[in-house]
Structure 1
Amino acid sequence: MKTAIGDITSTRSSYRVTFVVLCLAVVAFALLQSLVTPVLPTIERELHATQTTVTWVLTAYLLSASIFTPILGRLGDMTGKKRMFVVALIALTVGSLLAAVATSLPIMIVARVIQGVGGGVLPLAFGIIRDEFPPHKVASAVGVIAALSAVGAGLGIVLAGPIVSLLSYRWLFLIPLIITALAAIATQILVPESRVTTPGKINWLTATLLSGWLVALLLAVSQAPSWGWRSAKVLVLVAVAVGIAVVWVIAESRSANPLIDMRMMRIRSVWTANLVALLLGVGMYASFGFLPQFLQTPAGYGYGFGASVTESGLMLLPLTIGMFVLGMYTSRLAERFGSKNVLAVGALIAAIGFFVVALMHSYKWDIYLATAIIGVGLGLAFSAMPNIVVAAVPAEQTGVASGMNANIRTIGGSLGAAVMASIVTVGASHSGVPQESGYTNGYLMLGSVCVLAAFAALLVPKLPGSETVLGRETSPEPRHGELAMTAGGTVVGGKAE
């Protein structure tokens, strides 16, 4: 490791400037995750695709992000987090440009694969914060970035309708393109390069194995609603995914340069936080994918409000506001009550919101109430979770640990969307419109999953020391000649020993 996390010297950019740049990049990345979801029917018509094939616009992105997120996190730990952060932003920019000018579905899918490379933005942002920020500012900054990632995803649902109505669906990619390009330039100019790196190399065998089981698993769950959960294709893919995953774990355990350190993954704080991420990912992505569809169903079917894309987005606005507001205050709550308790309570609150959707959806105010409750719960949970992961690992493993946590949340989202689709479409009419009972059962399932997430959060061990310093005691930054503990050893006057 080159050096330790010490105090911020006068020769480096202000951490506040770095924080603004990171926020800009994370918001753009999060928007690209969700802007497309409500307007898939529009893209289907414009690119002359079918309902089955257009889902690859989402699936291709999830597959690519699942593969490249841990790889970029590891490369950032090895070669410099700023460098790989810029690479991720360039990938988002190039992919957005190609998507904006795509004239066919295959080109659009290639564009979304390129965008998926940018999935490394979130873990790299966490790593930069840990490297560059004063210790007593780290937890709150990580919490805000985590909240912004969830808020951006919700904001994409809200903004998609107005953008398509006023401009065209191509601006769903052009607007994030502008933001990511500006963020890449600002990062290169204003963000300092990491002082914390670790030597090593990418084990491409384990990277290939990781890619193999993720592709097989996500392909199976994403296509299961159309192929059938008991179809031979799905069963074979699941079997292949399990087999390759076992080989991958063995290879990673024996590797001198593991992409993901299996010893790190066995740390109780890490595996429990990852379990919670998986379960909450099921809830968040499934709700984003199916609640607009529910709201847009004509009331003549016995439920729904016949809302437009824009109107359904506005009905989800309380969710976005709740995630952002609570995410801003999570670090203070964690300091007082503990991150694990905030995580558990957040999951329970989200569960209540999903139960409200399932059992009370006759009036619009029911939906506003439910989405506000879900937003509060997810805002608390997703802002508390990264602190637990980052606190549990050495500084040089921040990128890969937080990257895997974000990756597992994405996998959870894919699983949740596939299972939700199977539940919602049971007994659908000949026109393809689901029955009300399908949505009721689906949201009861999501609420139950969030209850399980709350119980899983209780398994997280209490962090030693202050909750706001990621496992170290809260104290002012050391003056020259004083001692302070860092991830890499003792700092004397700002130099690691």
Structure 2
Amino acid sequence: MSTTSKVKAKVATPPEQSELSQGKGGLFHQPIAVWAIFFASITAFMGMGLVNPVLPTIAEKLHATPSEVTLLYTSYNAVMAFAMLITGTLSSRLGHKWTLLLGIIIIAIVSGLGGGIANNIWTLVGLRAGWGLGNALFVATALAAIVSLSNSGTAKAIILYEMAVGLGISVGPLLGGTLGSLSWKAPFLGVATLMVLAFIILSKLMPASNTKTVTKTKTSLLDPFRAMKHRSLLTLGIVAALYNIGFFTIMAYAPFIMGLNPKGLGYVFLGWGILLAITSVFMAPKLQQRFGTIKSMIMMLLLFAFTLLVMGIWTTHSVVVIAAVIIAGALLGNNNTLITTAVMDAAPVERSTASAAYSFLRFIGAAISPFMAAKLAELYNSHIPFLVGAGFVVLSVLFILFNYKHIKHINQAKSAH
């Protein structure tokens, strides 16, 4: 190919479109190390969803208020947010494989203790904080490892990661609801079992020669903060923090108002997770190519805000709330893929560092939301948490528009004509 032809080809294909359609390999043609991380990620995110259907049961059995039970998410997300800042430092010294395995070991231990020795809400809250540490090590490293080891480009690697997230989140609640119908402790023991399985998968199928990516230049604890000096990365992180307030209002508070038993809640969040998985893999790339990343994000966020508004107006109608929760899965699946793809190329920093900085901001919002939602309901009424959540999601859209000039470089759209 001539130099002129190469230039034309480069101009004709925007970066995001190029990665989506012209990666070196197809989405499902990946090295064995990538598939090891993929299956381990499914089990890790199954662990997150396993606990969700038993939140009302935990409140009943441990004589706790909804706001106290939502601290299970607040402690988990708060520790995860700050732990994200050390993931890059650890992975640059231990390598991807051993950082992932360390995270899995921590989750297995604390979840096992949760199902074994926890007999009051505060012990459980403390154990969930440890769970957040383990999950931070796993989640941030898994994303960076899949992106670095994939042979099909960043965009397809992220889609594969989001597919694992969606599969884990969709199957987890169903299993958690089934186990939770036996005992509220059973899902915690189920998580411990899944983590043992994940440990075996990674230790056997993830060769150290391919995954121990210890770099010559060690990552500093200050690198994520330095990365936030890039306005593009800071903007996306704040946007994620704001819309995660709406996200975790659904995850942590909605189970209390649907009036369903653990198995029923498991089926609702199964539908939620299935739509999240399908849209993150198949719909988000289409939106990205047709409208561009930023416009697609704005559309999904506005629709999500409207969904929360509907939940806030018809809170006492359980059928409406159940339908809205399931529909929200589709909107969040799209947005998760769009914003994660954007973060990976938002700033000229290492992807693991970008992921740590973004995740720190993202999970700050996730930590605030659960307790705030339940407390608002206790102080006012059950409608307010969803209305406030909708307000924060709208605020995330306004923040995008206000900072558009800093993130427009990632808004590569395929012409609609």
User: In which range does the TM-score fall when normalised by the shorter chain?
Assistant: 0.7 to 0.9
Aligned counterparts, 1:256-271, within 5 A: 257-271=220-234
User: Matches of 2:72 and 2:224 in 1, distance apart?
Assistant: 32
1:452 aligned onto 2:395 = yes
Do the aligned partners of residues 343 and 155 (structure 1) sit closer, same or farther apart at CA in structure 2, a change above 3 Å counting?
Answer: farther
Tell me the amino acid that sits aligned with residue 415 of structure 1: I
Q: In the alignment, does 2:140 pair up with 1:123?
A: yes
Give 1:109 deviation, angstroms: 4.7
CA distance in 2, matches of 1:34, 1:160: 7
2:408 is matched with 462
Structure 2: any 5+ residue segments left out of the alignment? 1-22
Aligned residues: 379
What is the CA-CA distance between 1:77 and the residue it aligns to? 3.2
Q: Deviations over 1:215-258 (max 9, x none)?
A: xxxxxxxxxxxxxxxxxxxxxxxxxxxxxxxxxxxxxxxxxx44
Amino acid at match of 1:273: L
1:392 and 2:335 correspond: no
Residue 86 of structure 2 aligns to a residue whose secondary structure is helix
Distance 1:331 1:125 in 2: 21
Report the residue type matching 1:294 in the other structure: I
State the partner residue of 1:416. Answer: 369
Decide whether aligned partners of structure 1 residues 22 and 412 sit closer, same or farther in structure 2, where only a CA change above 3 A counts.
Answer: same
1:22 aligns with 2:37: yes
- Preserved contact between residue 297 and residue 335 of structure 2 (Cα < 8 Å): yes
2:252 is aligned to 289
Identity, in percent, stands at 22
How far apart, in 2, do the equivalents of 1:464 and 1:57 lie? 36
2:177 — aligned with what? Answer: 161
Equivalents in 1 of 2:69, 2:320: separation in Å? 32
Aligned residue among 154, 165, 175 for 1:149:
165
| Mapped partners of 1:445, 1:55: distance in 2 | 17
Match of 2:383 among 437, 440, 455: 440
Q: In the alignment, what sits opposite 1:471?
A: none
Q: Which residue of 2 aligns with 1:345?
A: 299
Offset at 1:357?
A: 1.4
What are the Cα deviations for residues 125-177 of structure 1, in whole angstroms up to 9, with x where unaligned?
A: 1211221112x432122134235436644654454332111x43333123222
Structure 1 residue runs without a partner (length 5+): 1-6, 202-256, 297-306, 428-437, 469-497
Q: Which residue does the alignment assign to 2:203?
A: 188
Q: 1:140 aligns with which of 111, 131, 156?
A: 156
TM-score normalised by structure 2 residue count: 0.79
Give 1 or 2: higher helix fraction.
2
Q: Distance in 1 between matches of 2:292 and 2:385?
A: 32
Quote the residue 1:402 is aligned against: 355
How has the CA–CA distance of structure 1 residues 198 and 267 changed in structure 2, closer, same or farther, with 3 Å as cutoff? farther
Confirm or deny that 1:311 pairs with 2:264.
Answer: yes
Which digits, 9 at most, give the CA deviation of each residue in 1:21-60, with x for residues without a partner? 22332233333334334424544566x5644765554444
Aligned residue identity for 2:312:
A
- Runs of 4+ in structure 1 deviating by more than 6 angstroms, as ranges, are 465-468
- Provide the rounded CA distance (Å) in 2 between the counterparts of 1:19 and 1:347: 30
3-state SS of 1:424 partner: helix
Structure showing greater relative contact order (alpha-carbon pairs closer than 8 Å, 6 or more residues apart)? 2
Q: Is the 1:69–1:407 Cα contact (8 Å) retained in structure 2?
A: yes
Alignment partners' CA distance in 2, 1:290 and 1:54: 10
Partner of 1:224: none
Judged with a 3 Å threshold, the aligned counterparts in structure 2 of structure 1 residues 286 and 153 are, in CA distance, closer, same or farther, namely farther
Measured after TM superposition, the shift of residue 71 of structure 1 is: 1.0
Aligned mate of 2:215, from 190, 197, 201: 197
Cα distance in 2, alignment partners of residues 45 and 353 from structure 1: 29
Distance 1:280 1:53 in 2: 23
Q: Residue deviations 1:43-99, cap 9 Å, x none?
A: 4566x5644765554444334323322212332134422221121112112222222
- Aligned equivalents of 2:188, 2:231: Cα separation in 1: 39
